[in-house]
């Protein structure tokens, strides 16, 4: 069985400013690798409350029997926090390839914090 490496293919370790990225931040990410050359990803990093709201909106917790839903939520929150400690931020991500946005994670070493105005300007330009 292959081993899955959870470390990202990064050029270097995150800077202190990148490590400070957290819930509620707007970010610009440039994923590494030749297959992503020129791709810029804009994102909104979810707060804990936004993460919970997304789980509920997607009906993820409905897959569990009612008595265990609180445990399922707590487990997902623990995984979310563990991933954050590994340098991954979860949110909604937009680009010319995904103009409607998609849920997912990016490693902070590929991101930098931007102002909300810069995020909104990118949206107005079609994420270019």
pLDDT for residue 37: 87
pLDDT in tens, 77-125: 999 899 999 999 999 999 999 999 999 999 999 999 999 999 999 999 9
CA distances from 24 to 38, 46, 60, 99 (A): 26, 6, 22, 20
Structure confidence at residue 11 as a pLDDT band (50, 70, 90): low
Question: pTM, whole model, 2 decimals?
Answer: 0.81
pLDDT in tens, 24-81: 999 999 988 888 888 999 999 999 899 888 888 888 888 888 888 889 889 989 998 9
Per-state percent for the chain, helix, strand, coil, to nearest 5: 40, 20, 40
């Amino acid at each position: 069985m292959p081993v899955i490496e959870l470390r990202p293919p990064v050029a270097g370790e995150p800077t202190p400013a990148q490590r400070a990225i957290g819930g509620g931040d707007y970010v610009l990410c440039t994923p590494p690798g030749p297959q992503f050359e020129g791709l810029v990803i804009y994102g909104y990093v979810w707060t804990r409350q936004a993460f919970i709201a997304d789980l509920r909106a997607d009906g993820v917790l409905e897959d569990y029997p009612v008595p265990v839903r609180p445990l399922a939520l707590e487990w997902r929150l623990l995984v979310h926090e563990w991933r954050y400690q590994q340098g991954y931020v979860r949110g909604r991500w937009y680009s010319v390839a995904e103009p409607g946005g998609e849920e997912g994670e990016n490693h902070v070493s590929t991101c930098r914090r931007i102002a909300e105005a810069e995020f909104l300007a990118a949206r107005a330009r079609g994420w270019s």
